[in-house]
Each structure stands twice: as C-alpha cells, then as structure tokens.
Structure 1
Amino acid sequence: MKKIILIAFGILVGILNTQAQVTVNPGVKGGLNFSRLTNFEANGPKVDFNLGGYAAIKFNRLYTLQPEVNYSRQGVRSEYVNFFSPTPNYNNSRTKTYSLDYVSLSVINKFNFAGRPFYALVGPSLDFKVADNFSSYNRPVDFDFSIVGGVGYTLPNGLSFEARIKQGFLDIFGNDYFYKDSNNDYHYNDVVLNQVFQLGITYTFKVK
C-alpha cells in the first residue's frame, strides 16, 4: 500500500511540474502566398499575402500547440485564349486573376528538434470564404478544409521564419468526384482544390 501511495504521489508531482512549465504567449504572423487551383484552366501561381494572430501554448521545449486565426488571399492566375474572338491567337492569350479570400481557423502542432531553434509544424485548418471574383454562374462554395505543414526557425528574440504548404481537400465548386457517374467513371482529375505555398514571419510576445 505504501508503494502504491508513493507511486501515485510521484505521478501527481510529475503532472504538477509539467503543468507549471506550460506557458501561453500571443503572437502575430504574416507573409506571402503563392497559390494555385488544381485542374484549373492553364493555371499559374497567384502571388498575394496572408496575415493573422495566434496563441503559442508551449507545453515543453519539444512541443507547442498553436491555435491561429488567419486572413489568406488565395486563388489562381489563368492564361486563356478567347476562342469567341474573330481571330483567336495562341500568341496573344489573355491573363485573368481569380481571387479567393478566406478567414481560417487553424490548430497548428509545432515540434522542436531536441530543443533546437528548428521546428516542424502540421495541423488542420477550417477555411471560411469571405470574398471572391468568380462569375455569378460559377461561384465557389463558402467553406474549405485544409491541412497545413511546414518548417521554421526561431531566433532568441521571438522572431521566426517559416515555409508552409497548405493543401485543400474539398472541391471549391462543391462537386463530388469520388462517386461513380452513369458510366461508372470516377473524375479525380476534375477536382479543383486550393494549393498554397507560404513564406512568412512570425513574432511571439513574451508574457510574464
């Protein structure tokens, strides 16, 4: 019985010590987006920006949980030929930029490499569309689900540099290509997904 009590006491002390090490610090972030849409007409990267804020909940020197709220300007730059023109010409193609603006709620898990300033991050993101410039007859849906992954480097003053990849998993037009049609065909190659490469800077404030 004494051994059980001592073991339980040791576990309790360990839990209390772990909780005492938890810190919560607010932060801000921003950076560049290089975005595109899969299976979209002659698409190229759209360069824009993202910005947001977060709370860095640091449990220990190896793991930090980081809820985020971000504003992200995404979309695609599309080059096309106007075939309805009297003289369509591939050498005189036109460029149109399609915009998709999202407010994202993300839960990022950050893993430091043995306490070193390098870290990896991964987590889910719920993206709510707040604006777009698509035509009225082909409007994107209002919601996307994404996974974010990346790496970063933290300086002693709280400044960090990050590279992230954000991959959407829902067709932006709300189509479902994972069920068979009347010809028993799947249409995986028709799904239009958000893809974003992000380069950014974050700053974590030290709260005593």
Structure 2
Amino acid sequence: MKKRVITIICFVLIGIVQSNAQVTFQPGVKGGVVFSRLTNFDSDFMTGFYLGGQLAIKFNKLYTLQPELVYSQQGANSNYSDLLIDNYYNESIITVNNSVKHSLDYLCLGAISKFSFGTGFHVIVGPSLDFKVNDNFDKSYFYSDSPIGFDFAIVGGFGFSFPNGLSLDARFKQGVVDIYGNNYNTNIDNNNNGNYDEVVLNQSFQLGLSYSFDIK
C-alpha cells in the first residue's frame, strides 16, 4: 500500500514539474499610437502615444497571461466658438473658432489574457488599472474641474504574432469610471433612471507594435 502511495505521489510530482517546465517567460517592450476621446464631453478624437513593457507568461500554445505597465497619453480635443463684436468698423459680430486639447496621461497596469491560434493570430482581453500622472484641465478654457487620480478600463482587441517575437496589436479600451469621480446613479429622474448621459469616460483605440525577448 505504501509503495502505491509513493508511486502515485511520484507521478503527481513528475506531472507538476513537467507542467511547470512548459511555462515560459518572455519580457518585452511595446509602443504605438492612441486615438482617444471622452464620452459626453462634446469632443473629438485626440492623437497620442503609448509606451511601456510587458511580461508574457505562456502557459501553453493557446493561453498567455501578459501583465503590462504602460504610459499612455489620452484625452480629447474640443472645439468651441467665441463671438466678438467689432465696434471700431461697423459693429459686426465676428465668430472666432478655437480648439482646446484636454490631456489625461496615465500609467496603466494591465493584466491581459492572450488567446493564440495556430496561424499566428491572437485575441486579447483584460482589465487595466490606470493611475493619472498628469492633466491640463485646470488650464482649460472652460473646464476647470480636475479629474480624479485613477481609472479602471476594459481592454479588448486582436493581433498577429510573428515567429521572431514581433507582434501587431489593435485594441479598444473603454474606461468605466467617471473622470471626475461623480456617481450618476444618485441623480435619479422621474423615471427612476440615473443621468447616465452625463457620465464622462475615457475611450480609446490603440494601434501598436510589441517585441518579446527570448530568454532561453
């Protein structure tokens, strides 16, 4: 009986060792362009960039867990018009068009799940906890409120990985926390609905490259 127990334990330990031996670690770098906007903000897309590092923890051919630490430029462009009265000539009203760039820079900590297919294509999904490192809202023309210091976002997308460690990614990132920290569930209207059309959220599209180093 003892021999059987010892034999079973040996087989279990061998299986664990072999399983762990299949797990590989590949550090890497990543960067690309960000097209971002703010919902319910009367704004257009702003172009920025992201840059950072990643660690691909590959459990098998299908699944890879990929922690990431990325600096990301986000925000939005707003256009507005001023009406100026020209009294000196003929008291005409002059319309002046202006543009304001609202910057929100984050340090993003992500936990991306990457599902790979044999052809090199992959699908990615995961959460991202973003910490604000800079913004210019106190310098804006008519938005004087300062955004809160963090955001939580969901990331999804797809890409293609080459055998040499280079990958192409296209991602959509949706924030779920109001940038001012407002809880619009407490603002109830006559129909018992919150003012969800006032929620200001980060939203962005990302196109980029990453390179994973082989440390074998």
TM-based fold match above 0.5: yes
Single out whichever of 160-169 and 177-186 deviates more from structure 2: 177-186
Residue in structure 2 matched with residue 102 of structure 1 by the alignment: 106
* Cα displacement (A) at 1:96: 1.1
What is the count of residue pairs matched by the alignment?
Answer: 203
Alignment counterpart, residue 175 of structure 1, candidates 175, 182, 185: 182
Contact 2:189–2:195 (CA<8 Å) still a contact in 1?
Answer: no
In the other structure, the counterpart of 1:166 is 173
Cα RMSD (Å) of the superposition? 2.0
Letter in structure 1 aligned against 2:134:
A
Identity of counterpart residues, as a percentage? Answer: 53
Following the alignment from structure 2 to structure 1, what is the Cα–Cα distance between the partners of residues 6 and 170? 49
- SS of corresponding position for 2:137: coil
Equivalent residue for 1:79? 79
| CA distance in structure 2 between the partners assigned to 1:173 and 1:35 by the alignment | 17
1:3–1:180 distance in 2 versus 1, CA, 3 Å: farther
CA radius of gyration, larger in: 2
- Deviation at 1:170? 0.4
The structure 2 residue matched to 1:196, chosen from 188, 204, 209, is: 204
Check if 1:34 corresponds to 2:35: yes
Distance 1:79 1:176 in 2: 27
Counterpart Cα distance in 2 of 1:44 and 1:53: 29
Q: Does 1:68 align with 2:71?
A: no
**Unmatched tracts of structure 1, length 5 or more:** none
Deviations 1:47-82 (A, max 9, x none): 110000011111111111111100000000111122
**How far apart, CA to CA, are the structure 1 residues paired with 2:112 and 2:199?**
26
- Whole-angstrom CA distance in 2 between matches of 1:96 and 1:38: 16
The 8 Å contact of residues 81 and 88 in structure 1, kept in 2 or not, is answered as: no
SS in 2 for 1:116: coil
Instruction: Tell me the distance in 2 between the aligned counterparts of 1:11 and 1:121.
Output: 32
In structure 2, runs of 5+ residues without a counterpart are: 86-92
Contact 1:57 1:66 in 2 (8 A): yes
The residue aligned with 1:123 is 126
State the Cα deviation string for residues 134-175 of structure 1 (Å, max 9, x = none). Answer: 126311111100111110101111000000111100000111
Distance in 2 (CA, whole Å) between partners of 1:166 and 1:4 is 51
Residue 93 (structure 2) pairs with residue 93 (structure 1): no
- Spell out the pairing of 1:148-163 with structure 2 (5 A cutoff): 148-163=155-170
**Residue type matched to 1:95 in 2?**
S
Q: Which stretch has the larger CA shift, 22-31 or 74-83?
A: 74-83
Separation of aligned partners in 1, 2:157 and 2:94: 43
Return the TM-score normalized by structure 1: 0.89
8 Å CA contact 1:153–1:162 kept in 2: the answer is yes
TM-score by length of 2: 0.86
How far does the alpha carbon of each residue in 1:66-108 deviate from its partner, in whole angstroms, 9 at most, with x for none? 111000000001111225x43363xx43211110000011111
Q: Counterparts of 1:125-144 in structure 2 under 5 Å?
A: 125-135=128-138, 137-144=144-151
